[in-house]
Structure 1
Amino acid sequence: MRTFIYQYLILFLVITLWSCNTKNNIKEQQSNEKSEIVIEVIKPVVISTWNHGVPANEEAWKILSVGGKSLDAVEQGVRTAEANPEIQTVGLGGFPDREGNVTLDACIMDYNSNCGAVSFLQHIKHPISVARKVMEETPHIMLTGDGALQFALEQGFEKEELLTPESKKAYEEWLQKTNYKPVINIENHDTISMLALDEDGNLSGACTTSGAAWKMHGRVGDSPIIGAGLFLDNEVGAAAATGLGEAVIRTAGSAMVVELMRQGKSPYDACKEVVERIYKVHKNHADLEYLQVGFIALNKNGEYGSYCLRPGFNFAIKNATVNNELRDAEFKMK
């Protein structure tokens, strides 16, 4: 009888241990199955700032849709705004500084973290292409002023007058008041920024501007500054800014958006957090009255997002399922 009880206990222990081991194996298998979940990547994608982002996206899509590189797409995309004299905040026909000079800033960055920039560049219609030449043909990242112009001419760019009759007339009217007070949103947004993800899964970004209208001669905003107006990490995502450059520079805006995406935030949530940080920094500043800042962001999965401080900022988005829509960004302040 005693032997039978011992045998029964041993059998019970064996069955119990086997059951526990089986459950653990099932849990481990389920855990492994969860870790192998594949996230669908939507590509190619292009996103850009403001309503002139629509034609810019169309130009970029000509490259992306046939398997072209994101770097070529963003350069060619923003060139459409630089060449359009009706867009008086970028390139040809841009509003001048308070001395009547059109000065341009731009930067470009690729999936290998190569980047190039120009600032305070005069007489060259396409600063974004000069910035790319800086990236590819020099050991430097940024050239400025006369040095940037000299380099551009050496690279074959043509010198031309960028102050159009329309922009000159606006400048002469401003001289009657000489009141420096930036206008919120499209009237003085001063940037086109573009981000793209190509079929190879590589990101690139571009940013170009004629800067704030009636600025002090020599002023440079965030647009040519890597980490402020534009930043990307090809393992994570990309971000770009528009609006008052001084506010973006103070917070290293685009770099912060990318770092928040690295921490797991969505593009929208990352943009929102940085805008809220900018508001906190500037809520007691005199420039809050006319402060507008907006961000666009794009991650490696093709997810995109945007957020701004005040209503009025919009962005254009195009991918395989979204046919180049112009959308209003959500905002913090009414």
Structure 2
Amino acid sequence: MKSNRRSFLRLSAFALPFTRVNQLFAKSNAVRKPLVVSTWDSGQISNAAAWPILEKGGSALDAVEQGAIAMENEINCCVGLGGNPDRDGFVTLDACLMDDKFNCGSVAFVEKVKHPISLARKLMENTPHVFMAGAGAQQFAVESGIKLESGELSPDADKAYKEWLKNGEYKPVINVEHQQSHPKGNGPFAPKRFDDGTFNHDTMGTIAMDASGNLSGMCTTSGLGFKMRGRIGDSPIIGSGLYVDNEVGAATGSGQGEEVIRICGTHTIVELMRNGLSPAEACKKAIERIIKINPEKAKTFQVGFIAINKQGEIGAYSIQKGFSYTMTEKGGKGIVVPSKSHFS
């Protein structure tokens, strides 16, 4: 099924104008829980897997892990083993998760592991460590009973890689995820892989609050397509791609990870919320810090953040227009919300 993401945001019965969503949120001061929020409209895949757990009273941690697994099962260019490879032809995956007690686990530069999010959880729960990478993380996977996959490129990734090799150009494209779903993806929101070698640099990030009011979050990605071998972005870095403080709130994001790392993006957002800013205001302030570093360069890349606080308020902000997020709460239907942005 071919699906244009911009058309989806205009035509979907679930998409609401940003101001209308804010009006809905303002109707009650009661904490809205459970709820789950994910980056992009493709976050409906993650939310759909997370929601049944939350609806039955399960933990936010279990919910976000299942959301990640659902995305890692998709054949698309930005998450999981179906993703585009690095410039040496290998798919390397990054993932992290964090719970309400500051427990966290991260893996990076991992090959042949279908569900890096579950590997990150095993690391969190079964070792004294927080972060493992490369061959060591793969060895830990084997020791933990995880079966390694073949490591072969998917047919579409192989085609894209061979096309990229003709010029070998490193060319991130703003919001490429929004151009068109890949017709051979497993779901209607799987992003397109372009024949000219352009690629998607977007992460799936999910944050959730369970019925007990506890927060957790996750990030999972195959990173920048055709990146230098060994490159790691913000996604597996606690405090950059994801941060959770159960007293305050949680934040995650998507986009060009190098720029997020520079300001410890998600930790910054949570601290801004601690100091009284709303999730939307905190996301905006973090984006403005990124832009301030180099305003001209900021016109060439995308970063988008989402956040929730302990009151169940949701906020988002991005550098460029086109970023969106998916929220799911009572009723279980994913509502796609376009984010406000600095450049319109």
Which residue is 1:147 aligned to? 136
Residue by residue, what CA displacement relative to the aligned partner does 1:36-55 show, whole Å, maximum 9, x if unpaired?
A: xx941110010001122102
What code does the residue aligned with 1:112 have? K
Letter in structure 2 aligned against 1:329: S
Classify the secondary structure of the residue corresponding to 2:94. Answer: strand
Give the drift of 1:323.
Answer: 2.6
- Which residue number corresponds to residue 264 of structure 2? 252
Separation in 2, partners of 1:114, 1:139: 10
Q: Which residue of 2 aligns with 1:216?
A: 228
Q: 1:191·1:242 contact (CA, 8 Å) conserved in 2?
A: yes
Matched with 2:309 is 299
Cross-structure match for 1:64: 54
**RMSD of equivalent CA atoms:** 1.3
TM-score by length of 1: 0.86
- The 2-side partners of 1:93 and 1:104 are apart by 10
Residue 290 (structure 1) shift: 2.8
Whole-Å separation in 1 of the counterparts to 2:201 and 2:325 = 12
Change (3 A) 1:93 1:109: same
The one of 310, 325, 331 equivalent to 2:341 is: 331
- Determine the structure 2 residue equivalent to 1:278: 290
Matched, 1:99 2:88: yes
Match for residue 112 of structure 1? 101
- Does structure 1 conserve the Cα–Cα contact (< 8 Å) formed by 2:259 and 2:290? yes
1:50 maps to 40
Gap regions ≥5 residues in structure 1: 1-37
Instruction: Note if contact 2:81-2:93 (Cα within 8 Å) is conserved in structure 1.
Output: no
Residue matched to 1:308: 318
Q: Distance in 2 between matches of 1:217 and 1:167?
A: 16
Separation (CA, whole Å) in 1 of partners of 2:221 and 2:49: 18
CA contact (8 A) 2:113 2:138 kept: yes
Higher relative contact order (CA 8 A, sep 6+): 2
How far has the Cα of 1:214 moved from its partner? Answer: 0.7
Q: Is the 8 A contact 2:201 2:225 kept in 1?
A: no
Is 2:169 aligned against 1:157?
no
- Quick check: 1:181–1:290 contact (8 Å CA) kept in 2? no
Instruction: Provide the rounded CA distance (Å) in 1 between the counterparts of 2:35 and 2:299.
Output: 35
Alpha-carbon distance between aligned partners in 2 of 1:116 and 1:192, rounded to the nearest angstrom? 16
Aligned to 1:76: 66
- Whichever residue aligns with residue 277 of structure 1, its letter is R
Distance 1:290 1:284, change over 3 A: closer
Equivalent of 1:240 in 247, 252, 264:
252
Question: Is the 1:227–1:252 contact (alpha carbons within 8 Å) kept by the matching residues of 2?
Answer: yes
Distance 2:168 2:239 in 1: 32
Q: Percent identity?
A: 52
Q: Secondary structure at the match of 2:320?
A: coil
List per-residue Cα deviations over 1:176-227 (Å, max 9, x = no partner). Answer: 0111011111151331000000000100000000000110000000000000
Equivalence for 1:6: none
**TM-superposed deviation, 1:289:** 4.6
Instruction: Using structure 2 for the length normalisation, give the TM-score.
Output: 0.83
Q: In structure 1, what is the equivalent of residue 200 of structure 2? A: 188
Change (3 A) 1:322 1:123: closer
Offset at residue 241 of structure 1 (A): 1.4
Q: Which amino acid letter does the alignment assign opposite residue 240 of structure 1? A: T
Distance in 2 between residues matched to 1:123 and 1:94, nearest whole Å? 12
